[in-house]
Amino acid sequence: MTTPQTWHYGLVSEYWAKFNTDGPEIDYFGRFVADGQPALDAGCGAGRLLVPWLRAGYDVDGSDVSADMVARCRERASAEGFEPTLLVQPLHELDPPRRYRTIVVCGVLGLGSTRAQDEEALRRVHDCLEPGGRLLLDNHAPYFSARWSLWLPEERRKLPEPWPPHDDERERAEDGSEYELRGRVIEFDPLDQSMAFELRADKWVDGEHVAAEDHALTMRMYFRDELLLMLRTAGFADVQVRGGYADEEPTADHEFLVYVARR
C-alpha cells in the first residue's frame, strides 16, 4: 500500500504546532484516557491532545504519518520535560511496541488514505488494543461540509476552484512570524466519497515573505452506518455512537460523531 498523502509537512506542520493547540477533544477524550491506560494518540500531530495528557500524568504514546508533525510533537513535549514514545507510522501500518487500554483516533481517519487503507487501519487499531480495550474515533459528518453542493454534477464541473485571495489578517506567532493558509478543492468524486484539496502555506518574517509551499491532500468521507459496519467488520463489539464531544444522543444536527468501540 502507498503512504497516505497529507499536507502536514513543512510550513503546515509549523502552523499546526503554533496555532492548533486547543479544542473540546482534549478534555473529552482525556476522560477516557484517564480511565484506561496505557493509551495511544493515533494521529497525534504536533501534540495538541498528547501534551496536555502527559501534563495530566497519563501514560500515553503517540503516532502519526508525518515525521515533521512527530518532530514538532517531540519538541513541544521535551520543552515541558516529557519524553514520550512517538512513532512515525500511518494508521494502516500501526505496529507499536505495546498494547493499549485506550486508542484515540481524532481527526485522522480518511485523510490521504484509500478505503482499503482505512479498513486495514481499523483492523490494526483493533489488534493494538488489549482485550476489552476501547477505541475512541471521531468523524466529521459529510453533510456538514461547506462544499456539500459539490455532490451535484453541475457544481463539480466548476472545479478546480480558484485560489482564495490573500487574507489581510495573518496568524501571528509569539516570535513575530506570520503565517497564512489558503485551500481549494481540485476534484470531488461522490462515487468514491472523496475530495482532493490543495493547500498553500505562506510565511512572513519582519514583513518579508520568506517561504511558500503547496501541499495536496485527499479526504475520504464516511456516513454513520457505513462506519459502524467497518468497525464491526474489523472485529469491534459494543459500538456506540455519540453526538459531538458531550456524550449526547447523535442527531443530524451534530457536526461530529464519536464512535466508542470495544475489542
Q: How confident is the model at residue 2 (pLDDT cuts 50, 70, 90)?
A: low
Residues 38, 139, single domain; the answer is yes
Q: Using CA atoms, how far apart are residues 103 and 60, in angstroms rounded to an integer? A: 9
Q: Look at residue 40 and tell me if it is in a domain.
A: yes
Confidence of residue 4 (pLDDT cuts 50, 70, 90): low
DSSP 248: B
Q: Are residues 192 and 246 in the same domain?
A: no
pLDDT at 145: 79
Are both 208 and 227 inside the same structural domain?
A: no
Q: Please state, in angstroms and rounded to a whole number, the distance separating the CA atoms of residues 209 and 193.
A: 37
How far is the C-alpha of 214 from the C-alpha of 165, rounded, in Å?
A: 15
Claim to verify: residue 108 and residue 236 sit in the same structural domain: yes
Residues 58, 29 contacting (CB under 8 angstroms) = no
Q: Which helix (H) or strand (E) holds 205?
A: strand 194-205
pLDDT in tens, 229-262: 999 999 999 999 999 999 999 999 999 999 999 9
The cell for 51 is 501534551
Looking at the structure, tell me whether residues 110 and 169 fall in a common domain: no
Neighbours of 59 (CB within 10 A): 14
Domain that holds residue 199: 144-219
Q: What tens digit of pLDDT does each residue of 44-63 get?
A: 999 999 999 999 999 999 99
- Nearest CA-CA partner of 47 in 10, 25, 75, 67: 75
pTM of the model: 0.95
Q: How far apart are CA 231 and CA 251, in angstroms?
A: 20
For residue range 98-134, what is the model confidence (pLDDT) as tens digits?
A: 999 999 999 999 999 999 999 999 999 999 999 999 9
Give the residues across from 88 on adjacent strands.
Answer: 64
Total structural domains within the chain = 2
